[in-house]
Structure 1
Amino acid sequence: MAEEIKMEIKRAPFVAVMVDETTDVANMAQLSLVLRYVTATGVKECFVKFVDVTSGRRADDLAALIFHFFEEYECSLDKVVAQCYDGAAVMASGLNGVQAKVKEKVPMALFIHCYAHRLNLVLTQGVSKLKECKVFFANLSGLAAFFSRSPKRTQLLDDLCKQRLPHVAPTQWQYT
């Protein structure tokens, strides 16, 4: 699959990179790297990989990782027209953030704030004002924990639904 993406990137006239950092359930910081590019059949978006960034989450470290990513996927910097991150200062700052570091080498790479993060902010603000929503999300978050913490309840769920709920994991959703 990586070789196919490399070939498509070589033929693509325009490429954008989307990067997001999160901490997984093992408390490891990881960066997700996604490429979005133009093909003969339209725009294609491909998740490429996760990279462990526990040891270096400064703007210089992350920008260097992005440039290494471009090299690894044989993406010429003159094709890069956009970069998309969340609003964290280390990523979005126009002075010393990742977007500024990328823009130094790739002046045409416009910064675009991730709309999924904007949606999360809008929902967070909206939900924080509505008691019913707070209760709903609290119950939703507690449902998987309720079943997973008891072998009897897990077995009951298996018997009735023939399916298990996903394991409880911290999420980015903020509703209080």
Structure 2
Amino acid sequence: MVGEQGGRDAFITEGFDNWSKKCSFRKHMELEKSNYEIRLRATIRSCRFLLKNALPFRGHDDREKSNNKGLFIELMSLVMFPKKEQMAIVLRYIDRHGIVNERFNGVVHVLDTSSLTLKAAIDTVFSNNNLSMAQERGQGYDGANNMSGAFNGLKSMILNENNDAHYIHCFAHQLQLVVVAVVKKHDGVDEFFEQLALVVTVVYGSCKRKDMI
């Protein structure tokens, strides 16, 4: 039936030799090959990282709508799409026993870093986790204008919805700025952090060395 409808058994018996756009077909093959190589390299790099650090590949829920699909899938998305803008979200809360907990919720891909886009992404994360903005009691970012701007920043947009969501400049970011400034002026501090980085790399490269420390 297929041969009769097409007028010729091109793909069945005779073979197809009248392709009018050979260049387009060749470009398509090259593009597919390039995409395959990108996926293969990303897979190998992700596997090496997880194996080197003795980390699990799978998570509890790897479905498409899951906020955390497991380390392998999440790492693959970061390795394959490094040019995308990303926002890391960490939630800090007090449990029923009065203990402060901090949980890394995940990395959210955003089209840009405007305050409107970031606010929409946060609203989506809150909605997916059945959280309410009215329960928020604090927010912390770096000092960029799109985050901490007094009028159009993300901080202000959230405060407009909840006056109790007090803004605090991210302490980790402040500490990083201090360390960078000191390192630039003192060679001894620069050498200290360089050696510290080497020690951390060596120790965390082996489970046995980690246990010894």
TM-score range, shorter chain: 0.5 to 0.7
SS of 1:44 mapped into structure 2: strand
Q: What residue number does 2:135 align with?
A: 79
CA distance in 2, matches of 1:132, 1:38: 40
Q: Note if contact 2:85-2:112 (Cα within 8 Å) is conserved in structure 1.
A: no
Establish whether residue 51 from structure 1 lines up as the match of residue 121 from structure 2.
no
Establish whether residue 100 from structure 1 lines up as the match of residue 133 from structure 2.
no
Inter-CA distance 140–39: structure 2 relative to 1 (3 Å threshold): closer
The code of the aligned residue for 1:45 comes to E
**CA drift at 1:126:** 1.3
Q: What residue number does 1:126 align with?
A: 182
Name the larger-Rg structure.
2
Unaligned runs of 5+ in 1: 3-23, 144-156, 165-176
For normalisation by structure 2, the TM-score amounts to 0.51
**CA drift at 1:134:** 3.5
Correspondence for 1:62 among 115, 118, 124: 118
The structure with the greater share of residues assigned to helix is 2
Inter-CA distance 140–76: structure 2 relative to 1 (3 Å threshold): closer
Greater relative contact order (Cα 8 A, min sep 6): structure 1 or 2?
A: 1
The structure with the greater share of residues assigned to strand is 1
**CA drift at 1:113:** 0.6
The code of the aligned residue for 2:130 comes to E
CA distance in 2, matches of 1:137, 1:28: 30
The code of the aligned residue for 1:109 comes to A
SS of 1:50 mapped into structure 2: strand
CA distance in 2, matches of 1:38, 1:32: 20
For normalisation by structure 1, the TM-score amounts to 0.61
CA distance in 2, matches of 1:135, 1:75: 45
Unaligned runs of 5+ in 2: 1-59, 62-77, 207-213
Aligned residue pairs: how many?
124
Superposition RMSD in Å: 2.6
**CA drift at 1:65:** 1.2
